[in-house]
Amino acid sequence: MTKDKIRDRLFNNLMVTGGCGFIGSNFIHYLFKSSNYKGKVINVDKLTYAGNLQNLEDIASDYDQRYVFEKVDICDAKKMENIFSKYQIDAVCHFAAESHVDRSIKTPENFIQTNIVGTFNLLELSKSHRDLFKIFHHVSTDEVYGSLGPEGYFSENTPYRPNSPYSASKAASDHLVRAYFKTFGLPITVSNCSNNYGAYQFPEKLIPLIILNALEGKQLPVYGDGKNIRDWLYVGDHCEAIWKIMVSGRLGETYNIGGSAEMENILIVEMICDMLDEIKRDGKKRRELITFVQDRPGHDRRYAVDFSKIQKELDWFPKESFKTGLQKTIEWYLNRPDWVENVKTGSYMAWVKEQYG
């Protein structure tokens, strides 16, 4: 299998796993509204707590000839085989994953099943349909690299040192994907991204949790001293990067995707409070809601990625600054009270109570 860069890699029946989740649904929006893709999208999602069909209502109605949804668990190999055959799948963009670190500490077995076994099933099916298959893109995380000190960046050659059940399961899936390229010649690419934020993010993650709690006058929980640092990537920029990799990335290669926006958690919380105070102008000082809580076990101190490879090879760079991206994100949640209300199910509220009291 050549490692030469392939321009304009073409495929017609793209399976997107986890397409009802945060990044997956944004990617499907990108495919139909911002990319040059003209084929079909087959969205496979088992609709866990974080999967939401409402994320794609407009796509389902506006592109009904090119968009299909299948409610299937990727761990069910037989049902997945039926989908591969039925739609003649020739490309996969693999988002489906359990992704919340806190949940992985409490129930790691779910992460092993979906993130490792599910990925294995997809690789096996892609291999068995090799005569049609063009590309398997695996979406992963910078958390597989472990924790950084105050200086330096993760590169694509940084050794893996995962510190949570979540990141360990993603590391295992990354290795499986690479092995299927090396051993079987399966055409694959991998991306490891920094923290995403934007529309449709389930409010267990930092930014939407803080936005919604601040709007409701609830405590704003911050782990430890709040000085853990993450690099933040606007989800729209991430989707563009993934598409460039799928179409033009070198086979067998990994690409880091970053946002050039390193921020301490406490500073993000304060920014959200200040922006909401400015928007609402109701006299409330939302910083007073900030509450420091016991730190997460094994909480990595800093993540930051060197994404010069994708800049040089594919001419990609993040367009959204953190400030403008955060403003867009806050406005989206303010303008979508229906979506917010629908995701706040009993299971979500029970999780918040258990996690933060």
Dihedral pair phi/psi, residue 35, rounded to 5°: -100, 175
CA distances from 151 to 229, 298, 301 (A): 11, 20, 12
The yes-or-no answer on residue 142 being catalytic is yes
- The residue annotated as part of the active site, out of 142, 174, 253, 300, is 142
- The residue annotated as part of the active site, out of 37, 166, 255, 333, is 166
- The residue annotated as part of the active site, out of 143, 156, 174, 237, is 143
Q: Which residues pair with 149 in a beta bridge?
A: none
Of 180, 143, 137, which is closest to residue 305 (Cα–Cα)? 143
Q: Taking a C-beta distance cutoff of 8 angstroms, is the pair 26, 233 a contact?
A: no
Q: Taking a C-beta distance cutoff of 8 angstroms, is the pair 85, 58 a contact?
A: no
Distance of CA 125 to the CA centre of its chain: 23
* Cα–Cα distance measured from residue 105 to residue 297, given in angstroms and rounded to the nearest whole number: 8
CB atoms < 10 A from the CB of 59, how many? 21
Q: Taking a C-beta distance cutoff of 8 angstroms, is the pair 156, 191 a contact?
A: no
CB atoms < 10 A from the CB of 68, how many? 18
Q: Which residues of 141-154 are buried (b: 16+ CB within 10 A; e: fewer)?
A: bbbbbbebeeeebb
Reported as type and span, the H/E element at residue 69 is strand 67-70
* Cα–Cα distance measured from residue 329 to residue 262, given in angstroms and rounded to the nearest whole number: 17
Q: Which two tokens stand for residue 125?
A: 């099916």
Please report the DSSP string for 36-48 in residue order. Answer: ---SEEEEE----
* Cα–Cα distance measured from residue 96 to residue 174, given in angstroms and rounded to the nearest whole number: 13
Please identify every residue annotated as catalytic. 142-143, 166
